[in-house]
Amino acid sequence: MESLLANLPTLMALVRHGSVSAAAAELGVPRSTVSRRLARLEQELGVVLAERTTRTLKLTDAARELGGESAALLTKLRTTAEAIVAEAGKVKGRLRIALAPGLGGPFIAPLIASFHRRHPDVVVELLVTERQPHLLDDQIDALAVTTLDPALPWSRRSLGRTPAIAVASPRYLRDRPALTDAAALDGHVVLWYGLNRGGTFTWPRLRGAPIPVRPAFVTNDLPTLREMALEGVGVAMLPMHLIVDELARGALVHVLPKQIGATIEFFALFVPERGKSPVLRALFDEVSRYSAKLAASANKA
């Protein structure tokens, strides 16, 4: 049993990454150590945990089941330990947050900084990834998303809403026809957020059906889209929380304010067990405070 408990973190790393090299890099040990620990687990349990060839390693269903159950148990232990510490009046532990590139932008750093000042004993890990992680296997406490998949078994909490508005730089607008109607977008350079998957490009109207647009630039990175707008390349639709300062100082101008726009809602997905965590609840409290502050700034802008 001692060997089992000692080597489970190695199995969990293998389940997360699917390769010895990546697991070794995460654990900070040689590849040979990972292979040796896996062999010890197999010997103690008396079952095959990986199918090996000279070049590859494929985990068995038994390995994935054991790794998943271990991750769930670790989550429960972490939550219990944090609750015990909180009873002494202290929020302490580790908080692992994941989000897609561009989703947080300049919003996330001030939020984490404020959280750290309030709770200096919490170690925060921020994972920015294109891949949607598995909350249990990857030990993610909160995954920030803007769309919900009802098939996922995770709990969810709304983190707040932000308007998405059409903006352009004064330099761009100075040399172009006046934008007084959404139909006039056809004569303007449109900068579009998302991925071109062969469908129709549209922007949402405040009322009525979306309007088709013909973008000259397409990206799935919001900070890059904002910089393109600031450089005077064209008109972009951006979340308000990314451009509050730019609007306030006049670097960007809100265009078609009564015609083009939408509301983006942010959610946190988390393992139900982690909903009991004082550390995660402290993060949600911080998000509520910061969102209220941001909304006040946006209204002034």
Residue type, 51: E
pLDDT reported for residue 138: 81
Token digits for 288?
Answer: 């509520």
pLDDT digits (tens, 9 = 90+) for 21-42: 888 888 888 888 988 988 888 8
pLDDT digits (tens, 9 = 90+) for 97-112: 998 776 766 678 888 9
Contact 13, 23 (CB under 8 A): yes
Pick the closest to residue 158 from 290, 284, 286, 282 (CA basis): 284
pTM listed for this prediction: 0.70
Provide the total of helices (H) and of strands (E) in the chain, helices listed first: 9, 13
pLDDT digits (tens, 9 = 90+) for 198-241: 668 889 999 989 999 999 999 878 889 999 999 999 999 998 88
* pLDDT more than 90, % of the chain: 36
> Domains in the chain and their CATH numbers?
1-88 (1.10.10.10), 93-300 (3.40.190.290)
pLDDT digits (tens, 9 = 90+) for 139-194: 899 998 887 777 788 899 988 888 899 999 999 999 888 888 998 898 899 999 87
